[in-house]
Amino acid sequence: MLEMAEEVTYADLTFITLAKNKNEDFQQTKSKASSTVKHHWRSVAVSLGILCLVLLGAAGTMGFKAMQASQKMSSQNDNLTLQKEMLENLLTKLDVLQAKNQNLSETLQQLSNHRGRQCSPCPEKWLQRGENCYFLSAKWNTWEESKTQCITLNSRLLKIETKEELEFILESAQSYNSYWIGLFRSRAGGPWIWEDNSTFITDLFNIPDTGSSNYPICVSIQGGNLIASDCLGYRFCICEKMANQPKPGHK
């Protein structure tokens, strides 16, 4: 009985020992597993932490770059606005300068025309030859009316004094129009007299005979010929005056 009791006790102790050993092994395995899991999660946590730091750094960098881009864009917008204002100011100044330039051009043109009229020996539409100016009027008048017209132009009816002047007048008046000149006589057979009461020099040209008319007879030029006819007839006329003499030192 004692031996059986000892065997049972030994068996129990052995079982208990084995159970204890298994429990210790289980606890060690559990502890190792727990340690492995903790180590794994610690690695994951570290990795996640590093990733978060990287993401935060990247986000910060991107935010900084976005801020720089925003500031740059704002600066560019400010520059564009400033450039636009400067351009508008320049365009306004350009308009003002163009208006001033136009006014200046008109003033210079007026001065040039005025100076040209003052410096030209003869007025506009007058012909010049030597020291004289000649005007072929396009107004249809009697001889007396033509005389008055020339006076209003500060001139007189044409007085031909040389053969050269006659040739110039005949060439200038080459047309079918008739032009009164300043030569007349008060009656048939009377002397031919110029408008200034000087005597006609007969060797300059010949005047056709007008017969025995007692009316005043005046001379005109037509088609290169000299014609004597009634002073009450209507003709154009040729006025004459001295050309303007340039002042000393005037260019």
Per-residue pLDDT of 171-195, as tens digits, reads 888 778 899 999 999 887 788 999 9
- With respect to residue 192, please indicate whether it lies within any of the assigned structural domains: yes
Q: Looking at 120-209, list the stretches that DSSP marks H as alpha helix, in order from N- to C-terminal side.
A: 143-152, 163-172
User: CA angle 125-127-130, nearest 5°?
Assistant: 150
Q: Are residues 90 and 148 in the same domain?
A: no
- With respect to residue 43, please indicate whether it lies within any of the assigned structural domains: yes
More confident of the two residues 216 and 15: 216
Q: Are residues 144 and 171 in the same domain?
A: yes
Q: Are residues 113 and 176 in the same domain?
A: no
Which of 119, 138, 164 marks a domain boundary? 119
Query: Which tokens go with 209?
Result: 């005979």
Under the banding of pLDDT at 50, 70 and 90, the label for residue 2 is very low
Q: Are residues 88 and 151 in the same domain?
A: no
- With respect to residue 248, please indicate whether it lies within any of the assigned structural domains: no
The pairing of beta strand 217-222 with beta strand 225-230:
antiparallel
- Tell the residue number behind the tokens 């400010």, with chain if given: 78
**Span 150-169, average pLDDT:** 94
135: nearest Cα among 184, 172, 178: 172
Contact 132, 240 (CB under 8 A): yes
Q: Are residues 85 and 180 in the same domain?
A: no
- With respect to residue 250, please indicate whether it lies within any of the assigned structural domains: no
pLDDT value for 187: 83
- With respect to residue 249, please indicate whether it lies within any of the assigned structural domains: no
pLDDT digit string, tens, across residues 132-142: 999 999 999 99
Three-state SS at 19: helix
What range defines the domain where residue 47 resides? 1-119
Q: Are residues 54 and 131 in the same domain?
A: no
**Span 85-111, average pLDDT:** 70
Q: Are residues 132 and 216 in the same domain?
A: yes
The pairing of beta strand 132-136 with beta strand 217-222:
unpaired
pLDDT digit string, tens, across residues 11-64: 555 555 555 666 666 566 666 655 665 666 677 777 777 887 888 777 778 878
Q: Positive or negative, the Cα torsion across 39, 40, 45, 51?
A: positive
Share of the chain above pLDDT 70, in %: 71
- With respect to residue 170, please indicate whether it lies within any of the assigned structural domains: yes
Average per-residue pLDDT for the chain: 79
CATH number, domain of 216, equals: 3.10.100.10
Which of 85, 119, 153 marks a domain boundary? 119
Which of 59, 88, 119 marks a domain boundary? 119
Q: Are residues 146 and 100 in the same domain?
A: no
- Taking CA atoms, 45 is separated from 31, 36, 111, 234, in Å, by 20, 14, 96, 127
Q: Are residues 48 and 142 in the same domain?
A: no
- With respect to residue 247, please indicate whether it lies within any of the assigned structural domains: no
Q: How many structural domains compose the chain?
A: 2
* DSSP secondary structure string for all residues of 91-122: HHHHHHHHHHHHHHHHHHHHHHHHHHHHHSSS
